[in-house]
Structure 1
Amino acid sequence: MQKLFYYSFFLLLCFSANATEEHILNNLSQHKQWLKLLTAYSGNSPKVTDKNFLLSPEGEYSSLNELRLTINAFAEPAGLDLNQHGQCKYPARYLFLKEKLDFVKLGIKKVSCPNYEEYTNVNDQEQLSLVFATGFLGNPASYYGHLLLKINQKNKTGLEQASINFGADIPANEGMLSYIVKGIIGGYDSSFTTQPFFYHFNNYNETEHRDLWEYPIVLSKSQSELVIAHLWELMNVDFQYFFFNRNCAYFMARAIELVLDQDILDDVKPWVGPQEVIQKLNLSTSDGKRVLGEAVYHPSRQTRLYQRFSGLNSTEKSIVRSIALSPENLSLQSISDVQLESKYRIVDTLIDYYQFTRDKKDPEDKNNLYYKKAVLIRYQLAPSASTTNFASSNIPALGRGISRSYIGVDDLGIIVGIRPAYYDALDASYGHVKHAELTMGAAELIIDSGKVNLYSLSLLNIESVKQNYTMLPGDKNHSWFLKVGAEQERLNCSDCLTPIIHTGAGLSKSFFGSDLAISGFLTTGFFSDSLISDGLFAGAKIKASWFISSNISTALTINHRHHIGNATQTAIKLEQRTSISESMDLRLSWEHSIETELSKLSMNFGYYW
């Protein structure tokens, strides 16, 4: 009887231990960090589409099953290729589970991972930096800017250190239209990849002339290790790419969210932008401390040239222009009549100018020769530090939200509108291209005589403005625009919405520094609600946008269209924006049609979010 009692008690203890272990595993499988490590954000199914990432067989995934298989993989003996062991393939899972489970009891022994250990030989402080590249209107994938991570490795300079990028895997020679459509509907795989930071720095800073802002990510050593380990796990793993909401901004934010006190994204919002992530991280904390440190500004070659040129006096500018127009005259003799400090400023400006204009891949480009000549002259002068302290108030972590909703009135009724992203010529702000426009998916409804109609629709509106600030040869001022959407056929109509495609190319020039920009375009397009040739038109467009102050901006647009059927349309539009606060503004607009002599006034209050 006594033996039976002891046996029963032993079975009860075993059952209790198993039940407790099962309870621990069940709770652990629903832990927020564990789900994020599986890319099951918000508790949903994993975002990863690569079958090799998950250990669970296809059709058998659950976070609990993945947890059990991960523990088993960690307990496996090491083989000949250490880098293929489970601990080396999933170092973030290892770090997470080591804090939660008794590895000794589970028979898990630490395995050396040569490739991973070399990759994660990082500084003790500020191990990670988040880099924001400003928008580039020459490539649809870069319209909204770009995010990448830099790993601050020991024994390597900043440009040699590893960077982690996320992007779509696009076939070579992919057509622009195909690229845009596939990017929107999820037609591409995408992945994290790694390259030396120099590659991205050179591409963004030097080739595409995009300013870079490098934000140290202020985390504890263990938190940084977990984020870096997670990124290692995700390297070259496939995800489905969506231009609007499963892009570089989304997946970079999700990786950093792993150690934040709160999430900064949700899967409901249909769009996510790089600048939005920077702004939200700027307000985020980890263990009660701010996540983003003080930004390091890396001005583009174009910005360096413009800032140097603006710092010259009139005599120095005249000499630079003279040499740029007759570069064969570049010599110490050509700058002999000015003081030494002026020589420094002139030659430094010319170095940036030839760097900006030269084609590095073309050995026949004479600007390469002039660049080397300018560098040689600089060495012939007495040693001196840089003559310009580059700075910018265009800080992407500051400023308003990227989306705007508004309500207003015009001569026909009450207007309610939304602009999901991003900016126009009146409200280009921190991190944006001044005087340019980039909006997608904007729509207006009008309530007129009790009826609600779609008032306007802007599927895509891009205006790229290059301003030729220096007026030097090679500082191009070629500009272009593209508008696709629908607008009212007449100013006095609220129910005659008509599709429009409108595009043009031209030149721009800036004045008063860069506060005023005037552009002229030759245009063509189609404006009709039926596929008839009379909808085709050619014409011209003149636009002036002026940032009068930090709170007030205005724009004047004159648009002329001449249709194939000889009908003409000449429209004048005057707009003014007044910033009420960082997140609110007031807009006034007056439109007039020359041919019909119709006019329309409108006003709206907007909120940025």
Structure 2
Amino acid sequence: KLSPDEVRRVVAHIWELGTTHFDYFYLTENCSYHMLSLLEAGAPRLKLLSKLPRWTLPTDTLKVLFESDLVSETHLRPSLDTQFRTRVGMLSRGEVAELETLTRASKTSAQITAPSIKNEKVFDAFIDYVDLLFAQKLLEKETEAVQAKQNLLVQRSRLPIAESLDFSKLRLISPHLSHGSSRASIARVRDEDHALTGDATELGFRFAFHDLLDPAMGLPDFSEVQFVDFKVRYWEDIKKFRLENFTLIGVGNYSPVDAFHKDASWKVRFGLKRFSDRRCEPSGHNNDCLGGAVELGYGYSFQPLNAVLAYALIEGNLDTSAGFLQDKLVPRLGPTLGARTRFTPSLAALLEAKTQTSLVHPSFTEKSLEARLRWVPKSWGLDLRALWTTDHQELTTSALLYF
């Protein structure tokens, strides 16, 4: 969509930038920002930088390009892992079993061999697996790995050409189709056991970016990354605003394991949290207190059905609050079981059960069960949340806006 003169200016500016140093700011002037500045230098009429939000994420720059009608065509370039998963998805059960046997016997480059493979689809999947497993050695031209890969290619050349891979469904993962990177919410809260008797209006804001219940279009479906996520509640009985929680950073990866992928799942969260339990010193008619919270989790995820993600983690929490009656620093440990189901691209549900036992006072154990349902048809959505814990139960109905 650029004129020949504008293209020449872009190329000339690339040469000018060859030895130029830029300070890197992740949330503002990052790599994607400078790509837009390069295009704007060649075509000032576009005014691309003025269309960016104050805080710039890479997906935001892609959306600006599409909104400015600068993209005439897109081409999917799947990763090697995506290519491998697609090949495995095209295999029969017997072919998958044959591939599993090969991969179990090929843990080092010296063990790579496939003399018995007569099926071109299995062979192609095995070559992709070798490329994944020994990517670093192949990149570094490690002699043994390179020779083993060459032997595989020679063997493969004796077999027929396999059918082409179908990536048509993967076009839905284009990042420019993703939901807005920020989210605002307003909710009504009913806390059945809350000594403030109950009803509150909750205001929430998340600076970025994505959680397990958000629409997955254009984003990793098994990961969540959240920055600066907080909720404030106005309790009607005492006519006061109170901070409910604040997540500075929350990151999690729940990639499901299978015969060829054994990566563990994990989560990390740092922030503030309102504890509503008997550890807190009574304040008025209520036992709750605000404090710091660090949450770490490690375990494994599974995908028993295409639409279902299940996970099992061991979580360790470190809670601290000046409002605790006894120890001001309380480590806790316990299991977490969860399952998420995507009924449609815009409708998802989550069920999570958790038990946390204090390592300081083992008699204190908190159990919780959380159920959520979220529907996000466009840039807005609805969220229903029910929470049962050892000390209280609450029901939250939220309206969401992504931007």
The TM-score with structure 1 as length reference comes to 0.57
Residue in 2 aligned with 1:396?
175
**Do residues 231 (structure 1) and 1 (structure 2) align?**
no
CA distance in 1, matches of 2:44, 2:53: 20
> Structure 1 residue 465: deviation in Å?
1.9
Maintained 8 Å contact 1:589/1:602: yes
**Do residues 378 (structure 1) and 378 (structure 2) align?**
no
**Do residues 434 (structure 1) and 221 (structure 2) align?**
yes
Task: For residues 160-216 of structure 1, give each alpha carbon's deviation from its aligned partner in whole angstroms, at most 9, with x where no partner exists.
Answer: xxxxxxxxxxxxxxxxxxxxxxxxxxxxxxxxxxxxxxxxxxxxxxxxxxxxxxxxx
CA distance in 1, matches of 2:269, 2:112: 45
Residue in 2 aligned with 1:461?
250
> Structure 1 residue 438: deviation in Å?
0.4
Residue in 1 aligned with 2:351?
556
Kindly provide the amino acid, as one letter, of the partner of residue 554 in structure 1: A
Task: For residues 135-184 of structure 1, give each alpha carbon's deviation from its aligned partner in whole angstroms, at most 9, with x where no partner exists.
Answer: xxxxxxxxxxxxxxxxxxxxxxxxxxxxxxxxxxxxxxxxxxxxxxxxxx
> Structure 1 residue 273: deviation in Å?
0.5
Kindly provide the amino acid, as one letter, of the partner of residue 546 in structure 1: T
Residue pairs, 1:82-231, within 5 angstroms? 218-231=1-14
Kindly provide the amino acid, as one letter, of the partner of residue 225 in structure 2: L
Residue in 1 aligned with 2:120?
344
Task: For residues 565-592 of structure 1, give each alpha carbon's deviation from its aligned partner in whole angstroms, at most 9, with x where no partner exists.
Answer: 222222221111112x321111111111
Q: Any idea what SS the aligned residue of 1:235 has?
A: helix
> Structure 1 residue 403: deviation in Å?
1.0
Instruction: Choose between structure 1 and 2: higher helix proportion.
Output: 1
| 2:297 maps to which of 487, 504, 515 | 504
User: For the structure 1 residues 255 and 315, does the alpha-carbon distance in structure 2 shift closer, same or farther, using more than 3 Å as the test?
Assistant: same
Residue in 2 aligned with 1:24?
none
**Do residues 518 (structure 1) and 310 (structure 2) align?**
yes
Q: Any idea what SS the aligned residue of 1:546 has?
A: strand
Maintained 8 Å contact 1:455/1:495: no
Task: For residues 220-244 of structure 1, give each alpha carbon's deviation from its aligned partner in whole angstroms, at most 9, with x where no partner exists.
Answer: 1111222232233233323332221
- In terms of mean alpha carbon deviation, does 540-549 or 267-276 score higher? 267-276
- In terms of mean alpha carbon deviation, does 247-256 or 530-539 score higher? 530-539
Task: For residues 446-496 of structure 1, give each alpha carbon's deviation from its aligned partner in whole angstroms, at most 9, with x where no partner exists.
Answer: 111221122211100100122124x13xx2231111001112201897973
> Structure 1 residue 509: deviation in Å?
1.5
Maintained 8 Å contact 1:425/1:435: yes
Task: For residues 101-128 of structure 1, give each alpha carbon's deviation from its aligned partner in whole angstroms, at most 9, with x where no partner exists.
Answer: xxxxxxxxxxxxxxxxxxxxxxxxxxxx
User: For the structure 1 residues 590 and 365, does the alpha-carbon distance in structure 2 shift closer, same or farther, using more than 3 Å as the test?
Assistant: farther
Residue pairs, 1:287-302, within 5 angstroms? 290-302=69-81
Maintained 8 Å contact 2:201/2:233: yes
Q: Any idea what SS the aligned residue of 1:420 has?
A: strand
**Do residues 253 (structure 1) and 33 (structure 2) align?**
no
User: For the structure 1 residues 587 and 267, does the alpha-carbon distance in structure 2 shift closer, same or farther, using more than 3 Å as the test?
Assistant: same
Q: Any idea what SS the aligned residue of 1:483 has?
A: strand
CA distance in 2, matches of 1:366, 1:572: 52
User: For the structure 1 residues 369 and 434, does the alpha-carbon distance in structure 2 shift closer, same or farther, using more than 3 Å as the test?
Assistant: farther
Maintained 8 Å contact 2:178/2:219: no
CA distance in 1, matches of 2:286, 2:133: 49
CA distance in 2, matches of 1:296, 1:390: 11
CA distance in 1, matches of 2:272, 2:167: 43
Maintained 8 Å contact 2:217/2:345: no
CA distance in 1, matches of 2:289, 2:33: 38
Report % sequence identity: 20
Residue in 1 aligned with 2:92?
313
Maintained 8 Å contact 2:137/2:145: no
Kindly provide the amino acid, as one letter, of the partner of residue 524 in structure 1: G
CA distance in 2, matches of 1:493, 1:277: 47
Kindly provide the amino acid, as one letter, of the partner of residue 478 in structure 1: A
CA distance in 1, matches of 2:318, 2:355: 13
Maintained 8 Å contact 2:320/2:330: yes
CA distance in 2, matches of 1:486, 1:434: 26
CA distance in 1, matches of 2:387, 2:53: 34
> Structure 1 residue 255: deviation in Å?
2.3
Can you give the 5+ residue segments of structure 1 that lack an aligned partner in the other structure? 1-217, 285-289, 336-342
| 1:282 maps to which of 66, 71, 85 | 66
Kindly provide the amino acid, as one letter, of the partner of residue 559 in structure 1: K
Q: Any idea what SS the aligned residue of 1:560 has?
A: strand
CA distance in 1, matches of 2:96, 2:52: 53
Root-mean-square deviation (CA), in Å? 2.8
Instruction: Choose between structure 1 and 2: higher strand proportion.
Output: 2
| 2:24 maps to which of 241, 253, 276 | 241
**Do residues 603 (structure 1) and 397 (structure 2) align?**
yes
> Structure 1 residue 272: deviation in Å?
0.6
User: For the structure 1 residues 264 and 557, does the alpha-carbon distance in structure 2 shift closer, same or farther, using more than 3 Å as the test?
Assistant: farther
Residue pairs, 1:62-81, within 5 angstroms? none
> Structure 1 residue 360: deviation in Å?
3.6
Residue in 1 aligned with 2:207?
420
> Structure 1 residue 309: deviation in Å?
0.5
Maintained 8 Å contact 1:406/1:417: yes
Q: Any idea what SS the aligned residue of 2:176 has?
A: coil
Kindly provide the amino acid, as one letter, of the partner of residue 380 in structure 1: R
Residue in 2 aligned with 1:387?
164
> Structure 1 residue 269: deviation in Å?
4.6
Kindly provide the amino acid, as one letter, of the partner of residue 451 in structure 1: K
> Structure 1 residue 281: deviation in Å?
1.0
CA distance in 1, matches of 2:143, 2:314: 31
CA distance in 2, matches of 1:386, 1:494: 65
Maintained 8 Å contact 1:422/1:438: yes
> Structure 1 residue 326: deviation in Å?
3.8
| 1:589 maps to which of 356, 379, 385 | 385
> Structure 1 residue 365: deviation in Å?
11
Kindly provide the amino acid, as one letter, of the partner of residue 519 in structure 1: Y
Larger relative contact order (C-alpha < 8 A, sep ≥ 6)?
Answer: 2
Task: For residues 317-368 of structure 1, give each alpha carbon's deviation from its aligned partner in whole angstroms, at most 9, with x where no partner exists.
Answer: 2221232234579545443xxxxxxx22111111111111225428999876
